[in-house]
Structure 1
Amino acid sequence: MPTPVWRPERRNRNIGTPASGLGQSNRMRIPESWQDSSGNWSCYYERVRPDFVKDYRIGSNTIKVLYEKPSDGFSYGCSPEDVIHLLSMLPDDEHRLLDYVIFRQPTRKQRQQCPVWGRLIYHAEIGDLRGPAIFLEAQELGAKLRWSHKLDVEDRAEFERLKEDGHEFEKTKRYSTSRLTEKALRNTVLYRTLIHELGHWQHYENDVLAQEDLDLAADLYFAKPNVEKEQYAHSYAEKWAKALRSKNLIPFTPRDFDLPALA
C-alpha cells in the first residue's frame, strides 16, 4: 500500500476566514421536537399558526378545521369546504372521533427533507388542542415531481396512482418527471390522500380503540410493518373513491371558500 502523501492543494481554503466551519452546526435536517416559549414540546408539524379556525358539524360529529394561508405559488388543491363536503358523503362511523383537519404550509427545509401530501397524527398537540388530526400540506405549483425508472413494488404502485390522478410524466434517460398542476394536486390530495389518511385512522380505531386492553392493542398495532398499514389505507381509499365515483359524487366543483380578511 503506498504511503499517503500530504497534498497542500487539498488544504481547506476556508481555514482562517469567516466561512470556516460554515454549516457544521446547521446541517440539513428537520428537528424532531423543540420547546416553545411556553415550555411546551412539540413536533415541527404541530407548530401551526392558523389564519382560519372553524368548527364544522358533520352528522353527529364535530370537526375543527385549522387553516394556514398558503404562501405565494403554493396550493392545497382544495379548501376546508371541499374537505367537509367530501367527509359528509361518508357515513358518520367513518370519521367518528376524528377531531381536526389541519391545512399546513411547510417550510422549505421540511419540503426538501420530508415531503408529504398529508399525514395522520393519532394524538396531535397544537397549543391547547389535543386529539387525532389529519394534516394536509401546501404544495408548490409547477414544482417538478421526479421518479426513478428503478422502483420497488410499493413505489411502482404509487407512481401508477399518481398517473391515475392526472400527473403527466415525461420520460428522460433515468427519470420520469412531471410539473405539479392544480387539477392533479386536487385529485391527489382531496380524492385520495384525505381518504387514505382517514383509512389509517379507521385501522387504528378498529385495532386499538375498539379493544378492551388499549395498551396491549396499541403495542400490537404500532408493531405492525408499515407496509401492512399502508396497504390497509390504500385499500380503504380505493374502496371509498370507487364507491363515490360510481354515484357521480366525485369529482365535484370546488366549493366556495373565502379566507376572512387578516387583522
Structure 2
Amino acid sequence: MHGVWRPERRNRKIGTKSSGFSKSNDMRIPESWLDKYGNCSLYYERLERPEVEQVAIAGRQLTLLYEAPHNGFSFGCSPSDVIKLLASLSKLVPALPSIIAFRQPTRKQRQQNPVWGRFLYFAEFGGYCGTAIVLEAQELGAPLKWSKRMTLEDRAEYDLLIRDGHPFLETKRYYVAELTEEAVRNTKLYRTFLHELGHLADFHQKVLDNRTALDPDQDVADSLYFSRPTSEREAFAHRFAEELRETLLENGAIPFAPQPFAKADF
C-alpha cells in the first residue's frame, strides 16, 4: 500500500514558510554584521558620509554625527537644538552620552522597526565609540496609525502623542495623524531625547557609578542590570524623562525656537 498516492497524507507545509516558500524575499531587516565596506556593525550604527563635530558641554566631550536626511524627511530638530537642550539640562543629569547621531533609516527599516530614537549602551560609528543616542529621520506627511484596540501602555503613549501636537483623526479601525514638522520636533526633542537620557541615567547609576552600582564588579553589575525586565527599564526612563521635562518647563528652558543650523558649521 505504500506505493499508492494518498492525497490526505500530503505535506501540509507545502507552500508555507515552513517549507521555504518566499524565504528569498522575506520582509525583514538584514541582520548581517558586515557593512558594504567589510566593517563589523549593526544596521543602526551605519551612517552614510556623516558630518562630524566635537562639542564640549559642561566640561564633557561629545561627538555629533549628522547624516543628511532625504528629501521630505526631517529629524524635527537640528544638532544646534540638541546642543542648546543639553546645555540647559547638563546639571540635572548624572551623565551625557559619548555620541549623538542623526540617522536616515532605509525604507525597510522604517517599515519593520520604526522608532523616533534609540539609546545604545555601546556603539561604534567608525572610529567613534561609547554610549550613544540615535535620532532617526521621519517622513513628513506620512501617516501615523494608532489602533483603537489599545493596551494601557498604548493608551498612555497615544495620549502623549496628542500632547505633542499630532493631529489624530478617527477612522473605522485607527486613529491616524500626518507627521508634521512641529509635532515631530515636540516628540523627538522634548520627549524621546529625554527618554533616552533616562536610559543612560539608569545605566550610569546601576553600572558605571561605583557608589551606586548593583555590584562592585562592573561585569557583574552589567549582568544584573540587563537581567531586569525590559518593562522595568522602560518605566525608569519614562519617569526620568517626565520629571526632567517638568523641571525644564518650570525653568523656562523649553520649549524654545528652532536654532539656526548649517552643515557648514560642522
Tell me the percent identity.
50
Alignment of 1:1-263 (within 5 A): 24-36=23-35, 39-92=38-91, 94=93, 96=95, 98-210=97-209, 211=213, 212-260=216-264
Q: Deviations over 1:124-146 (max 9, x none)?
A: 01112211100000000001011
Work out whether residues 94 and 204 of structure 2, in 8 Å CA contact, stay in contact via their aligned partners in 1.
Answer: no
Query: Tell me, what secondary structure is at the counterpart of 2:199?
Result: helix
Q: Distance between the aligned counterparts of 1:203 and 1:261, measured in 2? A: 33
Q: For 2:159, give the aligned amino acid.
A: E
TM-score (norm. length: structure 2)? 0.87
Q: For 1:155, give the aligned amino acid.
A: D
Work out whether residues 146 and 175 of structure 1, in 8 Å CA contact, stay in contact via their aligned partners in 2.
Answer: yes
How many residue pairs get matched? 248
Q: For 2:82, give the aligned amino acid.
A: V
Q: Distance between the aligned counterparts of 1:47 and 1:58, measured in 2? A: 25
Q: For 2:167, give the aligned amino acid.
A: E
Q: Deviations over 1:13-67 (max 9, x none)?
A: xxxxxxxx99531311112332235543110001112432101110110111000
Q: Distance between the aligned counterparts of 1:243 and 1:33, measured in 2? A: 42
* Runs of 4 or more consecutive aligned structure 1 residues displaced over 6 Å after TM superposition: none
Task: Out of 60-69 and 47-56, give the one that drifted further.
Answer: 47-56
Q: Deviations over 1:135-172 (max 9, x none)?
A: 00000000101111111111111111101100111111
Task: Out of 148-157 and 43-52, give the one that drifted further.
Answer: 43-52
Task: Out of 204-213 and 27-36, give the one that drifted further.
Answer: 27-36
Please list every run of 5 or more consecutive structure 2 residues that lacks an aligned counterpart in the other structure.
1-6
* Inter-CA distance 5–99: structure 2 relative to 1 (3 Å threshold): closer
Please list every run of 5 or more consecutive structure 1 residues that lacks an aligned counterpart in the other structure.
7-11, 13-20
